[in-house]
Amino acid sequence: MDTALLASLDGEGKKKLERAIATLQGDVNAASGVLYVDPKLRLEYSRRIKAMSDDLYAKASRGIISWEKAAEEANQTRNLLMELIRYRSTPVGKALAQKMKAQGKTLNELIAYKTKALYGDKVNFNNLSVSQKNAVYSAVVQSAGKSNHEVNIKMQRLSGAGRGLIFLSLAVAVYQIYEAEDRVLETQRQLAISSAGIAGAWGGGALAGLMCGPGAPVCVVIGAFVGGAIAAWEISGFWD
Amino acid sequence: MFKLLDNVTLQLREEPTPTSMGKYEVLIAGKGTGIMVPVQVIEAAVQVDDKRLLLFLTDDVPYEEALKIALLDLNEGVKEILTLGGAYLTGSFMDLNIQPNAVEFSFIGDTTWRVEIPAMPFMKLPFIGDPRGVSRPPALKHYIKITASPAPARFDGSR
């Protein structure tokens, strides 16, 4: 990197520039944190609902539990897992998940939906034979193991972008450490900037979420960026 | 004048993979059109005029369902696809009401959604102008107008 431009800056100007770079690093770290955490949680969610559904399917197939019971458990566990993953998401992920009021199907509606899909419009579930009813319950259990495929693909792509940002952030940190007179001190400073950026963004996002109410992703993203930038700026100043 | 069709079906042509959506061919009265859509269930098919169709599609993921609204031109293929919904959200396609120049339905957000096809394509800036919960790919020309009345509700019921 050509540092001739930096040479013309006086000590004060150089410090300001370093703090500005730290601010940018803080936000890059925050963005990479979001792009790391939410896709990872998404993968966990997809795996857990599939494992839950497969487990209940196997139990019902072996006669350990009834198909009806398996469908009830799948419905309850699926909703619980969704809440759990939402709870663990970053403020940005949480705001995106809360942007709309869901209009899901109750278990009975789901049974009616699957009855229609399997046996046609005019069939009443109560008039089905036991084996037909079990086929409907089994379809409900299998549905509980499915996640939105398009969201999964998008999350995979975001995860790739997150890895790219982590690489960028690491490259900048390594360069700064390499160029520093006191590399131990600079390493500590870089660690502090990264941590502050992520923590600041998390706090800023959460605070914005409280101020704007649930389901306001744009507000939360702005809060996260401002929080990450302020935290990184302040921590960088503390080091000076 | 919009008209509900009951002879439109889908047939799997390419299985979804971990990195790509599936491909399902649109059939009309059992005859292939060569037009592919990315999801597998037709909730409703509506004829817009003699060469255009509006499809309301889902992907059989009832716990995390998104609705795709696709405008097809039988000569030119898919003109535009809108998505309603998102991660950890689900909806149910209900209350379909077909009007002479619009389709109304409910799906998500505790509201009535209305879809219209303007006579001329229109321009719009990405990310703004559509009601909350709607996403569409950026493009120079758009074909599907979507509104919601009242404004879609958030998770806690606020609008």
Instruction: From residue B121, give the alpha-carbon distance in Å to each of B10, B42, B79, B147.
Output: 27, 25, 10, 16
In this structure, the answer to whether residues A199 and A141 fall within a common structural domain is no
Mean pLDDT across A137-154: 92
pLDDT of B143 strictly over 60: yes
More confident of the two residues B6 and A34? B6
Q: Could B156 and A215 be called an inter-chain contact, meaning their C-beta atoms sit closer than 8 Å? A: yes
Mean pLDDT of chain B: 92
Is residue A232 assigned to a domain? yes
Q: Per-residue pLDDT for A156 more than 80?
A: yes
Query: Is A1 part of a structural domain of the chain?
Result: no
- Within this chain, do residues A47 and A124 fall inside the same structural domain, yes or no? yes
Contact B155 A156 (CB under 8 A): no
Among A47, A149, A153, the strongest candidate for a mutation testing the B interface, having the largest count of B CBs within 10 A, is A149
Q: What pLDDT is recorded for position A2?
A: 53
| Confidence check: pLDDT of A209 > 90 | no
Tell me the chain B residues in contact with residue A42 when contact means C-beta distances shorter than 8 Å: 87
Together in a domain, A133 and A43 = yes
pLDDT in tens, B14-27: 999 988 999 999 99
Q: Are residues A66 and A166 in the same domain?
A: no
Given a cut of 70, is residue A8 above it in pLDDT?
no
Interface with chain B: mutation pick from A78, A150, A153, A219, highest number of B CBs within 10 Å: A150
Minimal Cα–Cα distance from B119 to chain A, Å? 30
Task: Report d(CA B153, CA B111) in Å as an integer.
Answer: 7
Question: Could you write out the three-class secondary structure of chain A?
Answer: CCCHHHHCCCHHHHHHHHHHHHHHHHHHHHHHHHHHHHHHHHHHHHHHHHHHHHHHHHHHHCCCCCHHHHHHHHHHHHHHHHHHHHHHCCHHHHHHHCCCCCCCCCHHHHHHHHHHHHHCCCCCHHHCCHHHHHHHHHHHHHHHCCCCHHHHHHHHHHHHHHHHHHHHHHHHHHHHHHHCCCHHHHHHHHHHHHHHHHHHHHHHHHHHHHHHCCCCHHHHHHHHHHHHHHHHHHHHHHHC
E strand or H helix that includes residue B132 = none
Looking at every residue in chain A, the average pLDDT score rounds to 83
For residue B97, the cross-strand partners are: B104
Nearest-angstrom CA–CA distance, A59 and A38:
31
Q: Which of B87, B153, B158 sits opposite A97 (nearest CB)?
A: B87
pLDDT digits 0-9 by tens, A89-145? 888 887 887 777 777 778 888 899 899 889 988 888 999 999 999 999 999 999 999
For residue A230, what pLDDT band results from cuts at 50, 70 and 90? confident
Residue A95 inside a domain? The answer is no
The rounded distance, in Å, linking the Cα atoms of B90 and B87 is 8
Q: Starting from the edge strand earliest in sequence, which strands make up the sheet with B145-149, in order?
A: B94-99, B102-106, B112-116, B145-149
For the residues A42-50, what does the mean pLDDT come to?
90
Q: What ipTM was reported for this prediction? A: 0.86
Task: Verify that A114 and A86 share a domain, yes or no.
Answer: yes
**Do residues A27 and A198 touch, judged by C-beta distance below 8 A?**
no
- Which pLDDT belongs to residue B86? 86
Asked if residue A180 and residue A123 are part of one domain, the reply reads: no
Within chain B, strands assigned E span: 3-5, 8-14, 23-28, 31-37, 41-47, 52-58, 67-73, 77-84, 94-99, 102-106, 112-116, 134-135, 145-149
Residue A20 lies in a domain: yes
Q: What's the rounded Cα separation, in Å, for the pair A114 and B157?
A: 28
Mean of pLDDT values over B28-39: 94
What is the distance, to the nearest Å, from the Cα of residue A80 to the centroid of all Cα atoms in its chain? 17
Domain contains A143: yes
Q: Are A183 and A165 part of one and the same domain?
A: yes
Band (pLDDT 50/70/90 cuts) for residue B148 is: very high
Note the pLDDT of residue B26. Answer: 96
Domain identity same for A116 and A179: no
Strand partners, B147: B114
**A47 and A118 fall within a common domain:** yes
Residues of A with CB under 8 A from a CB of B: 42, 45, 49, 78-79, 82, 85-86, 93, 96-105, 109-110, 113, 117, 143-144, 146-153, 155-156, 213-216
A123 and A78 inside one domain: yes
Report the pLDDT value the prediction gives residue A215, as an integer from 0 to 100. 66
Whether A106 and A187 map to the same domain: the answer is no
Q: Which residues are bridge partners to B12 per DSSP?
A: B24
Quote the pLDDT of residue A226. 83
The mean per-residue pLDDT over the stretch A21-43 comes to 82
The minimal CB distance from B61 to the residues A45, A99, A147 is found for A147
Q: What was the pLDDT predicted at A56?
A: 95
Band (pLDDT 50/70/90 cuts) for residue A10 is: low
Cβ separation A103–B109 shorter than 8 A: yes
Tell me whether residue A180 is in a domain: yes
In the prediction, which pLDDT does B154 show? 82
**Domains contained in chain A, number:** 2
Residue A211 in any domain: the answer is: yes
* Residue B159 contacts residue B140 (beta carbons within 8 Å): no
- Position A199 in a domain: yes
**Which of A79, A104, A151 is facing B87, going by the closest CB pair?**
A151
Quick: pLDDT tens for B44-92.
999 999 999 999 999 989 888 999 999 999 999 999 999 999 888 889 8
Residue A101 has its nearest CB partner, among B18, B87, B110, at: B110
Is the domain of A114 the same as that of A193?
A: no
pLDDT in tens, A211-220: 777 667 777 7
The percentage of residues in chain B with a pLDDT greater than 70, rounded to a whole number, is 100
Nearest-CA distance A236 → chain B (Å): 34
> Which residues on B lie below 8 Å from A108 (Cβ)?
none
- The predicted pLDDT at position A167 comes to 83
Average pLDDT of span A172-188: 83
Is the pLDDT confidence value at A39 over 60? yes
**Total residues belonging to chain B:** 159
What number is the average pLDDT over the span A157-166? 82
How much is the pLDDT for A6? Answer: 56
Q: For residue A58, what are the domain limits?
A: 39-90+100-150
